[in-house]
Amino acid sequence: MDDTKFKGMKPSRRQFLTGAAAVGTASVAATVAKAQGAPDPLITDIGQQPWSQYLGPGVDVAPYGMPIKFENHVRRTSVEWLTADTVSSINFTPLHELDGIITPNGLCFERHHGGAAEIAPADYRLMINGLVNRELVFTLEDLMRFPRENHVYFLECAANTGMEWAGAQLNGCQFTHGMIHNVMYTGIPLKLLLAEAGLQDSGKWLLAEGADASGMTRSIPIEKALDDCLVAFKMNGEMLRQEQGYPVRLVVPGWEGNMWVKWLRRLEIGDEPWHHREETSKYTDLLEDGQARRFTWEMDAKSVITNPSPQAPITHGPGYTVLTGVAWSGRGTIPRVDVTLDGGKNWHQARMSGPSMAKSMHRFYFEFEWDGRPLLLQSRAHDSTGYVQPTKAQLREWRGDNSIYHNNGIQTWYVNEQGEAENVEIS
């Protein structure tokens, strides 16, 4: 899709504020039928139901299908002012349009530092070198012959919600929380590849390196490498998308997305961390005293209400209302999420639905009778270690405003009498 068309699809600011963005043709028609009290021509008039009279497309029209055109607005979107150019940049998963816990591959947010490399499967090589008994080279075909595992994990950018450290900035959970996706990865336990090379006792750190022009490198402690890391080639059943590291990426469950090196070309074993650019200049968290944390790997428990939200206002008026959202933790599962309708005066335990897997997204719902009065919505995740998602104010007490990364503070949406939602902070 060309850029002009793409821009035309994006909801305008006026639409955000009037709630018009989420109203499709069908729901407008239904509302009209109800209001006039007359028979609904979408039921009584065959002329208005061509799909019931004429034949639809046959089976070979789309060998690889795309969503129906009415869902064209469900797409990744970027925020131009965040970065200097679109190559070393970020875009956002449309969380407000999704349900369940699996992110469709084509909607998984992208973060590149040198653009998305295009590597043909036959050109792919993976090297293991350093403190190993045998330095090895694998082809993709070699990798496909190792025993595989399947796991569902979230991948959250360390900078997700980073723009919100300074206060409420971006109006929509896609923008405030959409640097995340959650898919089923198929891959080789990293420990099997390291065993093949023969890890030496002095090997304490692993350097993962990408084949793209940014030469992405991160140092990973060997304990994590031997625990649950995967060298993955499939996501949601199909080969990785180009923008997600085709043909091979590293999966580092629960840890910041930057470490999930894409287009993985080399694994080096060493006895010390390398302190490369992405773990010194970047992905270090500046605190108020001018000192910075390094190696802040785990992503703490976090949640966000995806509906209602600024891009997904309440359009049906007062009455029975479905509130839903997602929660996740880099340290385990999410047994519980609390929600509040009144800005934290009173909390209710939400209903969890769907599989609960460690270091994966969880889906929650809270159904309630909306009386049409303004709402201050928040969600609060509890993870299986007993950690409770903090408020933004609590986080700022520990870290100040300039740590950029790891903002897992509680998000507030203000919903007015018309059902329009806004990103706010509250006392």
Partner 1 sequence: LAGISFGLGRDALPEEVAAWDIDIRPDGVGLPAGSGDVWTGEEVFIEKCSVCHGDFGEAVGRWPVLAGGWDSLTHEDPVKTIGSYWPYLSTVWDYVYRAMPYGEAQSLTPDEVYAITAYLLYVNNLVDDDFELSDENFAEVDLPNEGGFYLDDRAEGEIPAFSAEPCMENCKDSVEITMRATVLDVTPDDEEATVTEAAA
Q: Could you tell me which residues come within 8 angstroms of residue 363 by beta carbon, excluding any fewer than 6 positions away?
A: 99, 100, 101, 324, 325, 326, 352, 353, 354
373 binds partner 1, rule: CB under 8 A: no
Does position 128 interact with partner 1 (CB under 8 A)? The reply is: yes
- Give the residue, chosen from 67, 100, 167, 318, that forms a contact with partner 1 under the rule CB under 8 A: 167
Q: Between 236 and 257, name the residue whose CB sits nearer to partner 1.
A: 257
195 - beta bridge partners? none
Using rule CB under 8 A, residue 159 touches partner 1: yes
- Taken in order 151, 152, 156, 157, the sign of the CA dihedral is positive
> Using CB under 8 A, which of 88, 242, 356, 416 touches partner 1?
88
H-helix segments, 121-244: 140-143, 173-177, 190-197, 222-227
Handedness of CA 309, 312, 313, 315 (dihedral sign): negative
Q: Both tokens of residue 194? A: 């390291």
Is 175 a residue that touches partner 1 (CB under 8 A)? yes
What whole-number distance in Å separates Cα of residue 348 and Cα of residue 343? 12
Least separation in angstroms between residue 145's CB and partner 1 is 6
Which span (45-53, 242-250, 267-275, 356-364) binds partner 1, by CB under 8 A? 267-275
User: Is residue 168 close enough to count as binding partner 1 by CB under 8 A?
Assistant: yes
The reply on whether position 33 binds partner 1 by CB under 8 A is no
Q: Which stretch binds partner 1 (CB under 8 A): 78-86, 116-124, 244-252, 320-328?
A: 78-86
Judge contact between 423 and 172, C-beta under 8 A.
Answer: yes
Nearer to partner 1, 311 or 324 (CB): 311
Could you tell me the end-to-end alpha-carbon distance of the chain, in angstroms, rounded to an integer? 43
Question: Per CB under 8 A, which region of 48-56, 103-111, 131-139, 244-252 contacts partner 1?
Answer: 131-139
Q: Is 364 in the site for partner 1 (CB under 8 A)?
A: no
* Gap between the Cα atoms of 111 and 91, Å rounded: 7
Contact between 82 and partner 1 per CB under 8 A: yes
CB of 406 to partner 1, least distance (A): 9
| Tokens read off for 231 | 């060298």
Please report how close the Cβ of residue 16 comes to partner 1 at its closest, in angstroms.
Answer: 7
Is 12 one of the binding residues for partner 1 (CB under 8 A)? Answer: yes
Per CB under 8 A, which of residues 285..304 are in contact with partner 1? 286, 288-298, 300
Q: How far is the CB of 287 from partner 1 (least distance, A)?
A: 9
Q: Is the CB of residue 283 less than 8 Å from the CB of residue 258?
A: yes
Contact call for residue 423 and partner 1 (CB under 8 A):
yes
Spatial contact of 309 and 316, defined as CB atoms under 8 Å apart: no
Pick between residue 30 and residue 195 the one whose CB is nearest to partner 1.
Answer: 195
**Cis status, amide bond into 94, omega within 30 of 0:** no
Cα gap 251→257, rounded to integer Å: 9
Q: How far apart are CA 159 and CA 404, in angstroms?
A: 6
Residue 404 in contact with partner 1, rule: CB under 8 A: yes
Place of tokens 């046959």: 58
The residues in 90-119 that bind partner 1, with binding defined as CB under 8 A, are 113-114
3-state secondary structure of 5: helix
Q: Stretches 60-68, 116-124, 274-282, 322-330: which one binds partner 1 (CB under 8 A)?
A: 274-282
Phi, psi dihedrals of residue 377, rounded to the nearest 5°: -95, 135
8 Å CB contact between 24 and 70: yes
Name which of residues 196 to 255 contact partner 1 (CB under 8 A). 196-199, 207, 209, 213-215, 217, 226
With respect to partner 1, which residue has the nearer C-beta, 13 or 34? 13
How many amino acids of this chain bind partner 1 (CB under 8 A)?
112
72 binds partner 1 (CB under 8 A): no
